[in-house]
Structure 1
Amino acid sequence: MSRRRGLLSRPLTSALTAVALAATGTLALHAAPARAASCYGYVGLTFDDGPSGNTTALLNALGQNGLRATMFNEGRYAAAYPAQVRAEVAAGMWVGDHSYTHPHLTRLGQAQIDSEISRTQQAIAAAGGGTPRLFRPPYGETNATLKAVEAKYGLREIIWDVDSQDWNGASTDAIVAAAGRLTNGQIILMHDWPANTVAAVPRIAQQLASRGLCAGMISPQTGRAVAPA
């Protein structure tokens, strides 16, 4: 499952830019032109690697299309851009833990894994994102040592059923097509930073609505997408 999605080549956006974007962005959570009239099932939309200078655009797209999602934030970015974490919560999103520096956790010892998770829990809480109950391991890599640390912090490990490949330069059409494979309870992997992902959001919303599917929350009990509480 090892894969790279361009994080190391992506420079950190300045905190001033991120705050300015958060201040000028207009969230439209109540506008839902593509919402299904009836929800016959729920899917989990997830976005890894935020928050970033692209978060405001992503939140706007989600809000304008009546979608909620789980944002798996990296601790280092939550600490750098706390206003963006607060914006995620204000927009109705759920915030999960995605480690502090996005390492290959299965190559680390238990103490290092613990540090990656605990620092992220603290950074997200300090930024106003609450205490995460969901954890997405970088690269989808897991083992017994990692699972033991997750259990220590009461975290449910969340992988995915569908990989949008947006981290690998997938086109907007390809991202929309990937979302079209989702069925009730399933979860799709997307990312906070690709422009093509933001562009795909309106079409994903329309497609889900046409199939009677709604964007749901991921249950900490089952790890599946369910109706929002």
Structure 2
Amino acid sequence: MNGAGSVPAQAPAQAPAQASAAACAGYVGLTFDDGPSGNAPALLTALKQSGLRATMFNTGQNAAANPAQVRAQVSAGMWVANHSYTHPHLTQLSQAQIDAEISRTQTAIGGAGGGTPKLFRPPYGETNATVKSVAAKYGLTQILWDVDSQDWNNASTDAIVQAAGRLTNGQIILMHDGPANTRAAIPRIAQGLAARGLCAGMISPQTGRAVAPS
């Protein structure tokens, strides 16, 4: 009886994954910078409730200060990435200072339980050959964005939803850990993506594009 009973119990669990994969005509990268802050739990809740996964570009100082939130990001199925330690203008720093910003963040995120990041986003999107070479030294792929939600500039919830509506297959949107308007936009972003057959994917370290989660 027990053996027979286990078969139908497993079948429904597999069906939703197959159905959702079939519904994905493409993948986009949802990214959130500057966390994990005090707003991180509410952001994770909003993402989980909407069935979305995202890449969290954490600063090293926030990861070190909030290790439980880094672990919560991983537990929620998010990907944790490097956003420097103190969020400086990296292009104004020496190579040694850039190295310290990136390496300390790798250590902080790893120490907090976030694994070893494969992706790096320079603060403000400011980069040059030196920044890219230091990131590459640590096995990091530099990731910028295709669409800027402008949530850092007090964009409204409607504007953030509209920005996400411009995403096409493989593209990446910039959002942030803190703004309340961003959290409010998440359910509508999820609805908009689903309506267009797009799913929230991971960012490939090889191509820097959003792809199906592996």
TM-score by length of 1: 0.84
Q: Which amino acid aligns with 1:161?
A: D
Bigger helix share: 2
Q: What residue is the counterpart of 1:14 in the other structure?
A: none
Distance 1:204 1:151 in 2: 32
Distance 1:147 1:57 in 2: 33
Task: Select the residue among 122, 125, 139 that pairs with 2:110.
Answer: 125
Distance 2:152 2:132 in 1: 25
Deviation at 1:135, TM superposition (A): 0.1
| Cα RMSD after superposing both structures | 1.4
Q: What residue is the counterpart of 1:6 in the other structure?
A: none
Q: What residue is the counterpart of 1:54 in the other structure?
A: 39
Deviation at 1:36, TM superposition (A): 8.1
Q: Which amino acid aligns with 1:220?
A: P
Residue 36 of structure 1 contacts residue 212 of structure 1 at CA under 8 Å; is this kept in 2? no
SS at match of 1:71: strand
Q: Structure 2: 5+ residue runs without aligned partners?
A: 1-15
Distance 2:21 2:114 in 1: 28
Deviation at 1:179, TM superposition (A): 0.1
Query: Identity of paired residues, percent?
Result: 81
Distance 1:66 1:98 in 2: 24
Q: Which amino acid aligns with 1:218?
A: I
Residue 36 of structure 1 contacts residue 209 of structure 1 at CA under 8 Å; is this kept in 2? no
Q: Provide, for residues 67-108 of structure 1, a one-character-per-residue CA deviation record: whole Å limited to 9, x for no partner.
A: 000000000000000000000000000000000000000000
Distance 2:192 2:109 in 1: 32
Deviation at 1:144, TM superposition (A): 0.6
Q: Which amino acid aligns with 1:183?
A: T
Q: Which amino acid aligns with 1:92?
A: G
> Does 2:61 match 1:76?
yes
Q: How does 1:22-171 map to 2 (within 5 A)?
A: 38-171=23-156
Count, aligned residues: 197
Q: Structure 1: 5+ residue runs without aligned partners?
A: 1-30
Moved over 2 A (4+): none
Distance 1:36 1:177 in 2: 25
